[in-house]
């Protein structure tokens, strides 16, 4: 037999609030209480749960795209010039902006970040283009975190290559990223556009570090 307990408020033996419902608003505990979700349990939050001035937000909290607005010829190590945050064709973003200086990007917060770099190139005398995501954890020495190659068989050919990397940002002062493009013969063209994402980067914060 199914049992039903009906109550608007439940208190502990000392009269302290455990749970209360008023006009479809449910309060769990009181100010200063700790609400624990046991290991193995799942807390499903649709949208934002607001209480006492703080919020628990479900899903991605930071995401945006950046691109270069003009072509760059030859090796770009790193790709330094003409960066802008995407701002046309209904471009959207979530949360605080990335910042960049001479092609070096700084993250607005710590966390696990997904980074994608798309590079569109036009052939000149090059046979291939090398595209690289470089990261640093000491704001000094950079390593190749992800790289890709694509063939440019002749001077009238075009290609697009995308590489990606998941970066654990634990210190926003030291953990940074930049992007390089290296044509084999040094004469390829990295394509940019102020109204189109031809060459650029996508940054998405996936969760806490």
Kindly report the CATH number assigned to the domain that includes residue 143. Answer: 2.60.120.40
Find the angle CA(68)-CA(74)-CA(79) to the nearest 5 degrees.
Answer: 35
Categorize the per-residue pLDDT at 148 as very low, low, confident or very high, splitting at 50, 70 and 90.
Answer: very high
Mean pLDDT, residues 172-200: 91
Is there a domain that residue 2 lies in?
no
Phi, psi of 183 (to 5 degrees): -70, 145
pLDDT tens digits for 11-20?
Answer: 888 888 878 8
User: What pLDDT is stored for residue 40 in this prediction?
Assistant: 65
Decide if pLDDT at 176 tops 90. yes
Please give the structure tokens belonging to residue 62: 């930071």
Q: Please spell the DSSP secondary structure of the chain, one letter per residue.
A: -------SEEE-TTS-EEEEEETTEEEES-TT------TT------SEEEETTEEEE-S--EEEEEEESS-EES-BSS--SSEEE--STT---BSSPPEEETTEEE-SS-EEEEEEEEEEEE-SS-SEEEEEEEEESSSS--EEEEEEEEE--STT-EEEEEEEEEEEES-TTT-EEEEEEEESSS--EE---TTS-SSEEEEEEEE--
Number of structural domains, the chain? 2
Full residue range of the structural domain in which residue 21 is found: 9-57
Residues 82 and 173 in one domain: yes
Is there a domain that residue 102 lies in?
yes
User: What pLDDT is stored for residue 184 in this prediction?
Assistant: 74
Please give the structure tokens belonging to residue 12: 């502990």
User: What pLDDT is stored for residue 89 in this prediction?
Assistant: 94
Q: Cβ atoms within 10 A of the Cβ of 51, count?
A: 12
Residues 157 and 85 in one domain: yes
* More confident site: 193 or 6: 193
* More confident site: 34 or 44: 34
pLDDT tens digits for 111-138?
Answer: 999 999 999 988 766 678 899 999 999 9
Mean pLDDT, residues 134-160: 90
Among 19, 41, 57, give the residue marking a domain's end. Answer: 57
Is there a domain that residue 1 lies in?
no
Residues 53 and 90 in one domain: no
Lowest mean pLDDT segment, chosen from 29-33, 133-137, 173-177? 29-33
């Amino acid at each position: 037999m199914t049992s039903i307990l009906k109550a608007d408020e439940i208190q502990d033996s000392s009269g302290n609030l455990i749970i209360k419902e008023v006009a479809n608003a449910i309060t769990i505990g009181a100010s200063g209480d700790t609400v624990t979700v046991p290991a193995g349990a799942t807390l499903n939050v649709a949208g934002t749960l607001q209480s006492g001035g703080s919020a628990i937000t479900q899903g991605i909290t930071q995401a945006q795209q950046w691109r270069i607005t003009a072509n760059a010829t030859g090796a770009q190590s790193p790709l330094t010039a003409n960066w802008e945050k995407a701002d046309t064709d209904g471009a959207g973003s979530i949360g605080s902006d990335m910042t960049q200086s001479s092609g070096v990007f700084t993250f607005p917060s710590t966390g696990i970040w997904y980074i994608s770099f798309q590079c569109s190139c036009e052939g000149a005398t090059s046979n291939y283009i090398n595209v690289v995501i470089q990261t640093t954890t000491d704001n000094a020495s950079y390593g190749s975190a992800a790289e890709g190659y694509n063939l440019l068989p002749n001077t009238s050919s075009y290609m697009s290559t995308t590489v990606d990397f998941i970066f654990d940002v634990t210190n926003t002062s030291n953990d940074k990223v930049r992007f390089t493009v290296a044509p084999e013969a040094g004469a390829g063209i990295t394509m940019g556009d102020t109204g189109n994402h031809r060459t650029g980067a996508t940054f998405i914060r996936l969760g806490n570090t």
